[in-house]
């Protein structure tokens, strides 16, 4: 049973920081690149940032460059998202998932999603 449990979201003022956590189970965690995704109201879920199996490389969208950092702890089957300098446009529900082998941001092999965690940035 694949399970993804996101936590750490909340309400923060613009310029503030949050750290999200994602606890994963049901697959061999260290065998997969992991990613964070977000969904804005009325929009499709979209890719934000990902990290390689051993944490040696990352991939991210331009809008979070210099602000978001992804990390992982393979001993704890957990991936993190450190967000700083948050902007109102970062307001969304954030999700984690496994990344399809051979890609940096595709989840098509992994249809199961967690409940996500809400991040709200006020101005």
- The 10s digit of each residue's pLDDT in 54-108 is 999 999 999 999 999 999 999 999 999 999 999 999 999 999 999 999 999 999 9
How far apart, in Å, are the Cα atoms of 108 and each of 58, 88, 101, 103?
A: 19, 29, 10, 10
| pLDDT range class, residue 121, cuts 50, 70, 90 | very high
Q: What is the pLDDT of residue 1?
A: 87
- At CA 45, angle to CA 39 and CA 51, rounded to 5? 100
How far apart, in Å, are the Cα atoms of 81 and each of 14, 51, 102, 113?
A: 17, 10, 22, 17
Instruction: Compute the distance between CA of residue 39 and CA of residue 91 in angstroms, rounded to an integer.
Output: 9
Instruction: Compute the distance between CA of residue 91 and CA of residue 57 in angstroms, rounded to an integer.
Output: 26
């Amino acid at each position: 049973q694949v399970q993804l449990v996101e936590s750490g979201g909340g309400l923060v003022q613009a310029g503030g920081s949050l750290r999200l956590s994602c606890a994963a189970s049901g697959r061999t965690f260290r065998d997969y690149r992991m990613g964070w995704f977000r969904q804005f109201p009325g929009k499709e879920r979209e890719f934000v940032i990902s990290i390689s199996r051993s944490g040696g490389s990352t991939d991210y969208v331009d809008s979070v460059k210099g602000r978001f950092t992804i990390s992982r702890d393979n001993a704890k089957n957990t991936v993190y998202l450190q967000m700083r300098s948050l902007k109102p446009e970062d307001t969304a529900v954030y999700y984690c998932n496994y990344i399809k082998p051979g890609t940096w941001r595709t989840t098509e092999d992994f249809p199961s999603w967690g409940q996500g965690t809400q991040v709200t940035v006020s101005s």
